[in-house]
Amino acid sequence: MIALAAILLSDLFAVVMLFGVYSLLTAALFMDLDAVDVAFTEAAVGAGVTTVLMLSSLHLTRRWEALPRRKPLLGLLVIGITGAALVYAVLDAPLLGDPTAPVHQHVTPRYLEQGAEEVGVPNLVTAVLASYRGYDTFGETVVIFTAGLAVLLLLGIHEDARMRPGVSAIGDQVVLRSVVKPLLPLILIFGLYVQFHGDFGAGGGFQAGVIFATAFVLYELVFGEGSARAVVPPGWLHRLAALGVLIYGGVGVYSLLAGKAFLDYSALATDPVHGQHLGILLVELGVGIAVFSVVLLIFYAFSGRSRRQ
Amino acid sequence: MMVILEWLSGLCLLLGGVLCITGGVGLLRMPDFFSRVHASGVTETLAAPLLLSGLLLQMELSLDSVKVIMILILVLATNPTATHAMAKATLHGGQRPLEFANDKDIGGDGLSKP
Amino acid sequence: MNYLPGIFNYLVVVFLMMAGFYVVIAQGNLIKKLVGLGLFQASVFILYITMGNISGGRAPIVVEGVTAYSSPLPHVLILTAIVVGVATTAVGLALAVRIHEAYDSVEEDQIHAEDIAADEALMDAKTTGREDDRR
């Protein structure tokens, strides 16, 4: 329903807001399907960061879609054929909740049974993410870093004279300032909690990095760009992003130098389970730092760009 | 004692649900932006905390209940601020509440749009 | 169709996927295309998480006394996918902003038309230049 409305509307502001609602509903659906970590990430990233970035780019481009649209016939034909093929394929799919589905047969029982002892961490998603499938997560961190690089190349971070600390478009709003100021430390503490508690409950590096970045985005929205850039200068963010990736890669290289495989955490301590704990801690820290700095960097790039008429 | 808690929790949940429904109806049927924003504000600021306290009364005191208390305080603090921000932004954009806008005696300037 | 409740999730996924696909291929506004891409991505996430769910199971966090857990493997893949998705959306939006600055429009048809007009102007300039040289 929301998807249909998003297609048919031409006011892009409404489309972006509906997309935020769609992301939130998807996060609720994930909660219902027992995927708590994924729901957390989707809510923080999809309904938070993506909406803010899209609104910034709407401000920099156009709010309204140019009508009349093209003829929809060819597009409908293509999706009709593709949709029919997909529905035919889906009829063979394993039913919802079926424990004999192929997903649960091969690697999953090993993770479920031996994950808690081998890795020593109750949150199996963190165990698989940071330990069993650590290479993929390293690749993902590098992808985020590359995206930050790409946005920097495309947009750059502008500092001009309008951005003085204390100047803000909505800075005279007493209610907003007095509510947001005490709220920010709480958001940051929550981000730290999610980062370090990710071993035991839902959470981990990605969610924590995004929450940390959202606190600073909120600060920039209410108090102005100058104040935000005085608190976290853009030059730091470049270095922090690189530092995050470096920590992750550094753990891997240290394992190599200690004589084992890349990202083999048993090289970090004498007791393998301790090594796993230490490895996961360092790796999640690297991921959190990288995600935080790249998200904030992208936001700085978008918000510093002025409309050139 | 337990029976009182259960009844109280059920009452809170029921009241919260009713307020959610009235808030939704108000969001759809109110004639003016400011009354609509008030309806959604009531849903967020009164119905959500009532639902949360209904759930809280059913839990025993543990880490989870402390987390629910924190969420309740957060919701109570942020939702009126969001409603205020939306109303102020609309005023800044030029709209005025329905009644005052079209009545020139009270200083309206005919700028209201539903 | 007595197993309709079991595959209902998948039909929803296919519908959302086609909706997102339609927006990407058939609508001209670049930012709307990115929103469609986001719709498509979210439908793929729902597909994977649905496959990993076990009825009667719980979230894959080891607690005392629970034996049936939903599989953590799709969760990990989708966590990665969500974050990579937001990274690519950010780069796409940055590209859209730059295109708007260069062409003053984010409509695909207008951008094509401007490119074609610029190419034709270049070809005209080249041919008139060659005629001048021959004379």
Confirm if C88 and A133 have CB atoms less than 8 A apart: no
Retrieve residue A225's tokens.
Answer: 């760009």
In this predicted structure, what is the pLDDT of residue B90? 81
Q: How many angstroms separate the most distant Cα atoms in chain A?
A: 68
Q: Considering CB atoms only, which of A57, A103, A146 is closest to C73?
A: A103
Rounded distance between C-alpha atoms, residue A212 and residue A190, angstroms = 8
| A230 close to B (CB below 8 A) | no
C92 near A CB under 8 A: no
What gap in Å lies between CA C114 and CA A43, rounded to an integer?
A: 39
Q: Could you tell me if A245 and A141 are in contact, meaning their C-beta atoms sit under 8 angstroms apart? A: yes
Which domain, by its residues, includes C27?
A: 4-104
Cis peptide, bond prior to residue A102, ω within 30 of zero:
no
Q: What is the C-alpha separation between A147 and B109, in angstroms, rounded?
A: 49
Q: Measure the CA–CA gap between A280 and A247, rounded to whole angstroms.
A: 12
Residue A57 tokens read as 């780019």
Angle at A150 between CA A287 and CA C83, to 5 degrees: 35
Candidates A38, A60, A197, A303, partner chain C, best to mutate (most C CBs within 10 A): A38
Q: What is the CA radius of gyration of chain B?
A: 18
**Closest partner CB to C50 (pick from A12, A82, A96):** A96
- Rounded (10°) angle between helices C4-26 and A73-90: 150
**Residue C120 located in a structural domain:** no
Q: What are phi and psi of A156, to 5 degrees?
A: 70, 165
**Which residue(s) pair with A242 in the sheet?**
none
Which chain A residue's Cα is nearest to B75? Answer: A183
Among A202, A235, A237, smallest CA distance to A216 is for: A237
Q: What b/e sequence results for C23-51 when a residue is b if at least 16 CB atoms lie within 10 Å of its CB, and e otherwise?
A: bbebbbbbbbbbbbbbbbbbbbbbbbbbb
Q: Say what the pLDDT of residue A112 is.
A: 76
Chain Cα centroid distance, residue B53: 15
B64-109 pLDDT per residue, tens: 788 888 888 888 888 888 888 888 888 877 777 766 555 555 555 5
Residue B14 at interface with chain A, using a CB cutoff of 8 Å: no
**C55: domain CATH number?**
1.10.287.3510
State the residue for tokens 């629910």. Answer: B68
Give me the pLDDT at residue A294, please: 92
Of the candidates C65, C50, C69, which has an alpha carbon nearest to the alpha carbon of residue C7? C50
Mean pLDDT of C46-55: 81
Residue C129 forms contact with A (CB below 8 Å): no
**Rounded Cα gap, residues A172 and A177, in angstroms:** 8
Nearest-Cα distance to chain B for A46, in Å, is 20
- C18 lies in a domain? yes
DSSP string, A77-144: HHHHHHHHHHHHHHTTSPPTB-TTSGGGTTTHHHHHHHHHHHH--SBHHHHIIIIITHHHHHHHHHHH
What is the full DSSP assignment across chain C?
Answer: -TTHHHHHHHHHHHHHHHHHHHHHHH--BHHHHHHHHHHHHHHHHHHHHHHH-BTT-B-SB--TT---B--HHHHHHHHHHHHHHHHHHHHHHHHHHHHHHHHS--BHHHHHHHHHHHHHHHHHHHHHHHHHHH-
Cα–Cα distance, C50 to C46 (Å, whole number): 6
Å from A45 to nearest chain C CA?
A: 7
Identify whether the C-beta of residue A294 lies closer than 8 Å to the C-beta of residue A148: yes
Region label for A34, one of left (φ > 0), alpha (ψ between -120 and 50) or beta (otherwise): left
List of chain A residues whose C-beta atoms are within 8 Å of the C-beta of residue B77: 179, 183
What pLDDT score does A76 carry? 83
- How far apart (Å, rounded) are the C-alpha atoms in residues A49 and A40? 13
Kindly indicate whether the ipTM for this predicted assembly is greater than 0.90, answering yes or no: no
Task: Say what the pTM is.
Answer: 0.84
Q: Cα(A56)–Cα(A14) distance, rounded to whole angstroms? A: 14
Coil, strand or helix: which one is A163?
coil
Domain spans in chain A, listed from the N-terminal domain onward: 1-93, 100-309
Using CA atoms, how far apart are residues A286 and A237, in angstroms rounded to an integer? 14
Contact residues, chain A, for B81 at CB < 8 Å:
175-176, 179-180
Tokens representing B98? Answer: 């329905």
Beta-bridge partner residues of C58: C69
Establish if C13 belongs to a structural domain.
Answer: yes
Q: Is the pLDDT of residue C134 over 60?
A: no
Q: Which amino acid is at C108?
A: E
Tell me how close the Cα of A42 comes to any Cα of chain C, in angstroms: 7
A236 Cα to chain C: minimum distance (Å): 20
Q: Is residue C121 part of a domain?
A: no
Question: What pLDDT does A290 receive?
Answer: 92
Residues 6+ apart with CB under 8 A from A64: A10, A11, A12
Q: Quote the pLDDT of residue A308.
A: 53
Q: Is the pLDDT of residue C56 over 90?
A: no
Give the closest residue to A183 by CA, choosing from B62, B68, B82: B82
From residue A156, give the alpha-carbon distance in Å to each of A149, A160, A166, C103. Answer: 9, 12, 23, 19
Q: Which of residues 62-81 of C touch A (CB under 8 A)?
A: 62-63, 68-76, 78-80
Report CB contact under 8 Å: C83, A202: no
For residue A252, give every residue at least 6 positions away whose Cβ sits within 8 Å of its Cβ, in sequence order, or none. A134, A138, A262, A263
Cβ–Cβ contact C117 with A under 8 A:
no
- Inside any domain, residue C116: no
pLDDT reported for residue A309: 39
Other Cβ atoms closer than 10 A to B110: 9
- Domain assignment present for C125: no
| Confidence (pLDDT) at C1 | 46
pLDDT by residue for chain A (309 residues), tens only, comes to 676 766 777 678 888 888 888 888 888 888 888 788 888 888 888 888 888 888 888 888 877 776 666 777 888 888 888 888 888 887 777 777 666 777 777 777 777 777 777 777 788 888 888 888 888 888 999 999 999 999 988 887 776 666 666 666 665 677 788 888 888 898 899 889 888 888 777 778 888 999 999 899 888 888 877 788 888 888 888 899 899 999 988 888 888 888 777 877 777 777 778 888 888 888 889 999 999 999 999 988 888 776 653
- Euclidean distance between CA atoms A215 and C92, whole angstroms: 24
Other beta carbons within 10 Å of C52: 25
CB contact under 8 A, A176 and B84: yes
Write the CA distances from A190 to A79, A185, A209, C36, integer angstroms: 43, 8, 11, 32
- The CA-based diameter of chain C, rounded to the nearest angstrom, is 95
